[in-house]
Every structure is written in C-alpha cells, then in structure tokens.
Amino acid sequence: MVAFNLYRSIRSRPTSPDSRSKSQPLTRGGSEPSKNRFKQSTPSPSPSTSSFEPSAGSGESTYIAMVSSRLLDGVNKVFMSSSTSLSGPADGVSYKNRRSPKKANVYSLANQIVQELEVAKTDVYLLRAVARQVHRYLSVFSSQLDPLLAMVCADPSFISVCNPNHSPTQSQSDTLNNPSTRRTPSPPPPTPLPIPSSQQQINNAQHFAFELAHTAWIIKNTILDAFEEGKIPQLAKDLIKDSLEKLDGHVVRVVNPTIKALRSYLGLLASGLRESYPDANTITRKNGNIEFNPLPYHLKALSKGMDASKKILVKMTGPCQPESEAWVARITVHLIWSAMLAFSVKKPATPQLNGKQVRKATTAPSTDSTATTKTRNASPTPIHSALGRVAAVSKPRTPSPDAVSIAESGDQGNCVIVAEMEAFVKMIDKFTDGLVQVSDVEPEDELEPESVALARSALKESIESLKTMKEFTATLSTPPDKTDVPVELPKVLALHLLIARKTGTPNTPDKIWKWSWDAYAEGIGGFGGAIRWQSAVFKVVEAALKHEEKREEDKEWNKLILDLIRD
C-alpha cells in the first residue's frame, strides 16, 4: 500500500511541461511507470516547483528516473528542429537541410537544468545523483551538437569575410607586401581584397555556425551564472565540470577561427595604409582642419572592410554579452596596432589641396626615389605603389591661399598623415559602437587573462595610444628640440616615426634586417610584442646609424633617434 501511494504521488506531476519529441527520441535514463496507471491524483499546492520536488518518503531512484525523463525531453526538444525535414515552422537558421535549434527551447533546457539542481541542493546525496544525470544529458547534448558543428566548420565560406569566391592570391599578397618587385610603372592596381558592398550580409554557413555556438554558450553560462549567484552548491559544479568544458569547446570551435580570419583580413587592409596616399581632389581644408571629401580610396576600402566585419561580429556576439566583448577587443586591438605600425613608417608626401599641389615648405631636398623616376629614355614617369599611390607630379600651379597657409605651417605631408589618423580614429569609434563598452578599468587585483575587464582595459589603452600617436606625429613637421615620447605610445613606433621623417628613403628596421614587411610586423606582433622586441630593434638601428653615410641634413634627426634609443 505504501508503494501504491508513492507511485500515485509521483505520477501526479507532469514529466515535462511540453509534449515529448515524436521523432526518434533517445532511450530514457530510468524506468518510467505506464502512462495509463494511476490517473487520479491530487493537485499540487505549488505548481511552479512541485514538478521538480520529490515527495516526502519517495525513493531516490524513482525521483532520479523522473529527472532523467525531464532532461531527455528538454534535449530532444532542442534538436527536434534540426531534423532533415524542413517542412515545419521556419524556426532557426536553415543550412544544408538542417535547422539550428530554436533559442526558446535552448533557454528552457538551461533553466530546467538549473531548477533540477537547485531543488536537489537540500540533500547532498540527492544533489550528487541529480548532478550525475545533468552531466549525462549534457554529454548527450554535446554529442548531438558535434556533427552539426563538424559539417558547418568544414565549409570554406564559414571563415570568409567577403565574397567567398574572391580571396587574395599569393601573388597579390606578395605584390602588396613587396612593392620593389614591381619592375615597370603601371596604373594603380585594385585593392588586394574585394571591397564588400554596404548591403552585404553574412553568408549562411557563418550564421548557422554562430547559432550553434549560441546554443552551447547559453546552456553553459546559464548554469555558471547559477553557481555564481549561489543558487547551486559548488559541489555540483565539480561533478559537471567536464560537460561544461565540452560546451565551452563548442563555442571556441566557432569563435576562434572567426577571430583569426577577421584579424588577418583587417590587419592586411590596415597594413596597406603605409603605402597608400590620398588621391588628388580629395583633400580639403575646413575650419582650420584637413579633411577628405570624398574619403580616399584606401581609407574607403578599410572602412567598408570594417563594416563587413562588424556585420559578422554582430551575429557572432549575439546573446553572448559581456563575454563577447573580449572577442571583439582582440580583433580591434590588432587592427589598431596594424594601422599604427603602418602609419609609423609612412613617409610624408607632397599632397594636393583643393585640387592644387601644395607648395612644400623650405626644407632639405628630398631624395625619395618613390616620387619620380626616369625610364631608359630619360623621360620622367610617375611611380605608383602597390595600393595606388598617386605622386604629385602635375604641372606647377599657383597655390591657393589655403594651400599657402598649410605650407607655412610646416610639413604639409605630415599633416595629411595626421588627418588620416583622425579619420581612422572615427572608424574605430564606429566599429566598436554597440559591441564593446570602452570604460575606465583600474582593478585592485590582477585581472584574469580572458576577463572582460582586461579586454576593455586593453582596448581603451590602444585607442588612447592611437590618439597620442596622432598628436606626437603632428609635432614632427620639423625636428623638435628633444624626443618627449608620451608614455601611452610604444617607443618602437616613436622610433619608426623619427626614422621616416629623416630626409631620403627611411631605413626602417625591416630594411636593415632585410626582412619582408610581413615578417617584421609579425615579429613585433602587437603592443606586448613591441615591448619585448624593443631592445633588439634599438640595437640594430643604433648599429646602422653608426655605419651609414653621414649627411648634414640627417644630423638633427639622428640625434633624436639616438637619444630615444639610449633613454
């Protein structure tokens, strides 16, 4: 009679708030009484919790069987929409006759797991048993997610930023990074990467992969949040740790390749800034500032590439705030560093203002061989760099008053580089808007390497460094009395700026080592890499200065360079 009453009390509670999956459900974890037995029951006084609480005196094995049944129902419901039949409601993202799980079902399963563990926390033995069931069905969940991830991650378009049918070839990349390989003058070539259209959306493989990553992330973080809020004892966390790590691995499987692809794509576009100069008729002076109207082609290509990348990031980050801010920060910091490194070795060139060549201030004659050259028949011919540098070799014209005022202020080419930096700062603000909260972070203790606070702090410091570099560059129109490098600016970049401002062709470290630009930039590797490489770079530059041909016009700049190295 006791067993009879026990079964009546258990069967009075529903096994699941929704009907079970009818499409090949998995085998249940425990025995379940027949649905036709003991139909009469007394209503539970608390419907919100009674479906999860065992009755007084109930057997543990029977209750665990019901927990197993409810968890399996939740897992089946999540993946029911991923069946090969797409004739049902259009929930989720379709890809190769599959659908991504519906978010509402994912949240429902995550909350169900938390509630099962929360109810069982009153008894340590019951908590262990429930945690083992949670671990079991999280493993089932991972096994269902694995083949879907394997399928989409193998698609080449998954890591494509732009049109997957148009990617830079090795020869295009070599031409971009080694302008000296161009033996004959030719018109400016197109950019090495396609410029996405403003209406371009992310491709289907990316969208499907992000939805799968969201599924794993929601389950994992809902459970972790419950532990942090004290809803569930830490004992259960140790029992399901392996399952949570598997879920995290699913997220990493999608996020890391995407971050790597975006870093590479944006870094390549940013590195092209070192060889690109504004086209004629794009530089104007308004309210005392140099502006671009329209935006130069090389900045426009970078801007559109950043817009396309942001569309991908918006889909990837999805519900993953604030953890996703660390992902975006990794990409943005690398982008800022690549642009700053390119700006630091960019030699000022004579620009055109309002369609007229700007008269250069009285300085030592430049020997920059990239301005003009002569062919075999001794006729002057403009040389174009790999990304379309346009030399100002038009016929002499009477400069406008605006042009004269620019010339009188010092190195007008340097002012154009400063204006490019200002335009790039605005692009970064637009890129991070809505994705990352750039805030002041002054932690009392050391931050975790993967923490959101550390990512925000690193991004804030890199943006401040970019703005400081712009201000420092503006002071280098003529040799200053001393090199007062702001603390936010890496000294390696300050060294590059001083070298590039010397007369003649800048002898930057990559040329001294006879390395390709890519090898040198990869070696420096970012803000942290700049600090590690600083002493090695300083040594090779100092040795090169001692052995170079002594010229009077280089004397002041060399003194500044040596002061920076020996400081």
- State pLDDT tens for residues 82-131: 554 444 445 678 888 888 999 999 999 999 999 999 999 988 999 999 99
Please check the confidence at residue 510 and state whether its pLDDT lies above 70.
yes
Which of residues 190 and 269 earns the better pLDDT score?
269
Q: Virtual CA dihedral for 295, 301, 307, 310, nearest 10 degrees?
A: -140
Q: Can you tell me the distance from the alpha carbon of 350 to that of 340, in angstroms, rounded to the nearest whole number?
A: 21
Q: Are 32 and 83 in contact (CB under 8 A)?
A: no
Q: What is the pTM of this model?
A: 0.75
Task: Render pLDDT for 531-566 as a digit per residue (tens, 0 to 9).
Answer: 888 999 999 999 988 888 888 888 888 899 999 998
Per-residue confidence band for 209, with pLDDT thresholds at 50, 70 and 90: very high
Q: Work out the average pLDDT over 500-520.
A: 85
Task: Render pLDDT for 454-473 as a digit per residue (tens, 0 to 9).
Answer: 888 889 999 999 999 999 99
What single letter denotes the amino acid at residue 239?
L
Q: What is the DSSP string of 237-300?
A: HHHSHHHHHHHHHHHHHHHHHHHHHHHHHHHHHHHGGGT--PPTT-EEEETTEEEESS--HHHH
Please check the confidence at residue 246 and state whether its pLDDT lies above 80.
yes
| pLDDT of res. 288 | 73
C-beta atoms surrounding 7 within 10 Å: 16
| pLDDT of res. 43 | 38
| pLDDT of res. 137 | 95
Q: Can you tell me the distance from the alpha carbon of 359 to that of 404, in angstroms, rounded to the nearest whole number?
A: 7
Q: Work out the average pLDDT over 412-424.
A: 88
| pLDDT of res. 6 | 33
| pLDDT of res. 525 | 84
| pLDDT of res. 132 | 94
Q: Are 66 and 10 in contact (CB under 8 A)?
A: yes
Element (H, E) at 382: strand 380-382
Tokens for 307, please give them. Answer: 């817009």
C-beta atoms surrounding 553 within 10 Å: 14
Please check the confidence at residue 204 and state whether its pLDDT lies above 80.
yes
Q: Are 558 and 498 in contact (CB under 8 A)?
A: no
Q: Are 346 and 417 in contact (CB under 8 A)?
A: yes
Please check the confidence at residue 210 and state whether its pLDDT lies above 70.
yes
Please check the confidence at residue 216 and state whether its pLDDT lies above 50.
yes
Task: Render pLDDT for 217-245 as a digit per residue (tens, 0 to 9).
Answer: 999 999 999 999 999 999 899 999 999 99
Q: Is the peptide bond before 322 cis (omega within 30 degrees of 0)?
A: yes
Q: Can you tell me the distance from the alpha carbon of 110 to that of 105, in angstroms, rounded to the nearest whole number?
A: 9
Pairing outcome for strands 283-286 and 372-374: unpaired
Per the listing, tokens 């004290």 go with 230
Low-confidence winner among 10-24, 284-298, 537-551 (lowest mean pLDDT): 10-24
Q: Work out the average pLDDT over 37-59.
A: 43
Q: Residue 250: name the closest of 143, 341, 344 by CA.
A: 143
What single letter denotes the amino acid at residue 384?
H
Q: What does the mean pLDDT of the chain come to?
A: 74
Q: Work out the average pLDDT over 411-428.
A: 88
Q: Residue 369: name the closest of 354, 357, 380 by CA.
A: 380
Q: What is the CA radius of gyration of the chain?
A: 32
| pLDDT of res. 445 | 61
Q: Are 335 and 268 in contact (CB under 8 A)?
A: no
Element (H, E) at 99: strand 98-99
**Domain parsing of the chain, residue ranges:** 2-26+44-162+202-250, 489-567
Per-residue confidence band for 411, with pLDDT thresholds at 50, 70 and 90: low
At a CB cut-off of 8 Å and minimum separation 6, what does 317 contact?
324, 325, 327, 328, 435
Q: Work out the average pLDDT over 148-177.
A: 61
| pLDDT of res. 358 | 54
Q: Can you tell me the distance from the alpha carbon of 246 to that of 134, in angstroms, rounded to the nearest whole number?
A: 13
Q: Tell me the sheet residues that pair with 352.
A: 357
Output the CA–CA distances (angstroms, integers) from residue 250 to 72, 206, 213, 441, in the order listed: 20, 14, 6, 30
Q: Can you tell me the distance from the alpha carbon of 342 to that of 226, in angstroms, rounded to the nearest whole number?
A: 46
Per-residue confidence band for 422, with pLDDT thresholds at 50, 70 and 90: very high
Q: Are 255 and 213 in contact (CB under 8 A)?
A: yes
Per the listing, tokens 């499409």 go with 23
Element (H, E) at 428: helix 412-432
Which of residues 503 and 42 earns the better pLDDT score?
503
Q: Are 416 and 474 in contact (CB under 8 A)?
A: no
Which of residues 60 and 507 earns the better pLDDT score?
507
Per-residue confidence band for 330, with pLDDT thresholds at 50, 70 and 90: very high
Q: Can you tell me the distance from the alpha carbon of 488 to that of 144, in angstroms, rounded to the nearest whole number?
A: 49
Task: Render pLDDT for 365-404 as a digit per residue (tens, 0 to 9).
Answer: 333 333 333 333 333 222 222 222 222 222 223 334 443 3
* Percent of the chain residues past pLDDT 90, beyond the cut: 41
Element (H, E) at 381: strand 380-382
Tokens for 207, please give them. Answer: 């969208």
Q: Work out the average pLDDT over 152-175.
A: 58
Q: Can you tell me the distance from the alpha carbon of 348 to that of 500, in angstroms, rounded to the nearest whole number?
A: 8
| pLDDT of res. 356 | 58
| pLDDT of res. 466 | 96
Q: Can you tell me the distance from the alpha carbon of 551 to that of 555, in angstroms, rounded to the nearest whole number?
A: 7
Range from 49-63, 177-191, 380-394 that averages highest in pLDDT: 49-63
Q: Can you tell me the distance from the alpha carbon of 245 to that of 39, in angstroms, rounded to the nearest whole number?
A: 42
| pLDDT of res. 223 | 96
Q: Residue 316: name the closest of 236, 377, 260, 399 by CA.
A: 260
Burial (CB count <10 Å: 0-12, 13-18, 19+), residue 328 = buried
Instruction: Give first-to-last CA distance, the chain, whole Å.
Output: 91
| pLDDT of res. 451 | 83
Q: Can you tell me the distance from the alpha carbon of 542 to that of 206, in angstroms, rounded to the nearest whole number?
A: 48
